[in-house]
Amino acid sequence: MDIEIFSDVKCPWCFVGKRRFEKALAAFPHRDQVNVTWRSFQLDPSLPEHYEGTEQQYLAERKGIPAEQVRRMWDNLVTQAAGEGLDFRFDDVVVGNSFTAHRFLHLAKAHGLGAEAKEAVLSAHFEQGKDTSDVDFLVSLGTSIGLAEDEIRSTIGSDRFADDVRQDIEEARSLGVSGVPFFVIDRKYGISGAQPTEVFTDALASYWKETNPLTMVAASSDAEACGPDGCN
């Protein structure tokens, strides 16, 4: 089973959804036969590399969301995140374009470290108040999970993996993805949003049953068996 997850590293629900999906996957009996691929998505590609302002100012100025509504939204998100073991700190969030971080994630994926990098970047952005577009920070983060400093710097300093990010975004559009997180199972079924863990659990079980039906083997019709009325 191939599961692609389209998400943006600047999307708080993507982090919450990641945790809920991981809980479902950890309890799935056939988890060793599930291949998870993280795909890039940008909620606001028009953002500058570094936005001169706070997260609240960004949401007010560019999205038109009143300050009181932002606070209510954050309170809900903080509560939901805490329920998944996450510590969101929106007042410390560094606002900026996510394209560089996505290219970094593609570099990590090329070395088989995509999952580790995704977790680290999301945590850095939402829990630690780090600038995930800053090359020195990405060097520190990348080397901590096993990437080489020289390759990180050369990647960030060029347009390497830019086409990969754009291709992910284009694929999302072709699939009709307009919001994230979005989970795609074998390019047949989609799950939108940070659904409760139970939804992911049911989806995994249902799809596995659908694609791996029980096959009856031809055998003698008078073989011994038990039924509702007893045993023969």
The model's pLDDT over 3-31, given as tens digits with 9 standing for 90+, comes to 999 999 999 999 999 999 999 999 999 99
Beta-strand relationship, 2-7 and 230-231: unpaired
For the chain, what is the domain count? 1
Confidence (pLDDT) at 79: 98
Beta-strand relationship, 189-192 and 182-185: antiparallel
Supply the range of the domain harboring residue 143: 2-211
Confidence (pLDDT) at 63: 87
pTM for the full model?
0.90
Confidence (pLDDT) at 218: 56
Is the pLDDT confidence value at 220 over 70? no
Give the bridge partners for 185, in sequence order: 3, 189
Is the pLDDT confidence value at 77 over 60? yes
Could you report the per-residue pLDDT of 102-136, keeping only the tens digit for each?
999 999 999 999 999 999 999 999 999 999 999 99
Residue 90 lies in a domain: yes
Residue 225 lies in a domain: no
Mean pLDDT for the chain overall = 94
Residue 199 lies in a domain: yes
Domain harbouring 200, CATH code: 3.40.30.10
Residue 231 lies in a domain: no
Residue 148 lies in a domain: yes
CA distance 17 to 1: 19
Confidence (pLDDT) at 213: 81
Residue 63 lies in a domain: yes
Helix 135-144 and helix 99-110: axis angle, to 10°? 30
Bond prior to 181 in cis (omega within 30° of 0): yes
Residue 184: burial class (beta carbons within 10 Å; 0-12, 13-18, 19+): buried
45, 99 Cβ separation under 8 angstroms? yes
